[in-house]
Structure formats: C-alpha cells, structure tokens
Structure 1
C-alpha cells in the first residue's frame, strides 16, 4: 500500500487595493512547500515600491513545520526591510500554538505572548 502524497500548498494572490497584497494559503507550509511559498511571496516585497501591507490569510493552512516557520520568519525579515506591514490573518489554533511554543508569536503577529506562570525561587 502506497502512502498518499502530501497535500499541495495552493497560494492565491489578490489585491485589496494598490498598496495591499493578500496571499491565501491552502494546504501545508512545510519542507516541501516553503521554497515555492518564498518564491511567490518575496518578489512583491522587493519589486513593488507602493506595497504597504502583505496579508497572509492562513484560514486554509494545514500543517506548518519548522521549515514553514523559517519561511514565515524570512517573510517578516524581508517585509520589515522593505517597510511593508505583515499580517497573519485567520490563523488556526495549531499555528498560534506553534508560534507560542517557539516564542515567535509576538514577532510575527505583534501580539504579546501569553503570560507564563511564575515559579518560586529554587523550584523548577
């Protein structure tokens, strides 16, 4: 019995207005798809002088592994360098959980990480 191929990542680009690019992600952002994601998302950040906001619509996002997280961090870095705002809209709970676990939630979304319970000195 053969294993089913992983679901593809479909990327749909739309313009809300001349200054806003929206990219809808449907499928997994992982080792196999992160290269195509970056090849699609980075050029507008580098080539479009009037771009002000990049919106990533994550409603259809399935799995996001470490390569997918690295790709999101690369997009954040390039967006910041280009003075373009980055929004991760409609994030599934599993993506927020990954961002919380890795300490990247605030960096990628601007939302503060949830408060961690404090422990007494000398206790783990």
Structure 2
C-alpha cells in the first residue's frame, strides 16, 4: 500500500496519519507500506514521530516501510536523526516497490 502525503506533516496532520496507520496495519496481511513524501513541503518532529509509528507497526507484524520522493531538506533530517537506517528512502516509487520484491539477504549464520 502507498500513502501519498501532501503539504505539511506537522502536529495537526501527523495525528491524521497516525490514525490512518492504525487502520492500515489492522488489516490482515498488510505488511508493506510506502510513504510517498514527494508532495510534502514541511515535516516537523510530529511528522517524524508518525513515520516512526509506521516503522514500529511494521516491525510488530513482520512488515516493511519505505519512503519515496523526499525532498533534500527532509532527507537531510532523516539522516541527521538516524531514521534513514530504519526507513529506507528511494528516489522513485518503482524503486521502492521493487525493493519489497527482492529476496532478503541471507543471514551471516547461513
């Protein structure tokens, strides 16, 4: 599933996103989420918190979350906060979708 975000992701709109995430991850079998950030013009700590919530939901269900299309300022914010290690970012939606279809890397113990 892909959610395309537009405008500002701040204290007012992050609560909406959190509610949407609750509904999405309550659906049986929902394990993959792409947040399309190409339409975002602003993101504050509340917005980052909503992205972390998406990551946590996915982790609880064995799923994955990916980000796509973030502008330079938001990519820098993700890097500075270390969230880029948990929320992979892809330049295009096609690249994010293909990352979900790739087989996982074998574990070092294999």
For normalisation by structure 2, the TM-score amounts to 0.75
Gaps of 5+ in 1: 1-20, 112-124
1:69-114, Cα deviation, whole Å (9 max, x unpaired) = 1111111011111122111011111111111111211111179xxx
TM-score, normalised relative to structure 1: 0.67
RMSD value, Cα = 1.6
* Equivalences, count: 90
Query: Which structure shows the bigger proportion of residues in helix conformation?
Result: 2
Shift of the 33–110 alpha-carbon distance from structure 1 to 2, 3 Å rule, reads closer
The question of 1:104 aligning with 2:53 is answered no
Aligned counterpart, 2:108: none
Q: Which residue of 33, 37, 44 corresponds with 2:17?
A: 37
Q: Which has the larger radius of gyration?
A: 1
CA distance in 1, matches of 2:38, 2:89: 18
Extract unaligned runs of 5+ from structure 2. 91-110
Q: Larger RCO: Structure 1 or Structure 2 (Cα < 8 Å, ≥ 6 residues apart)?
A: 2
Matches within 5 A, 1:1-124: 21-45=1-25, 47-109=26-88
Give the equivalent residue in structure 2 for 1:11. none
**Partners of 2:42 and 2:5 in 1: CA distance:** 11
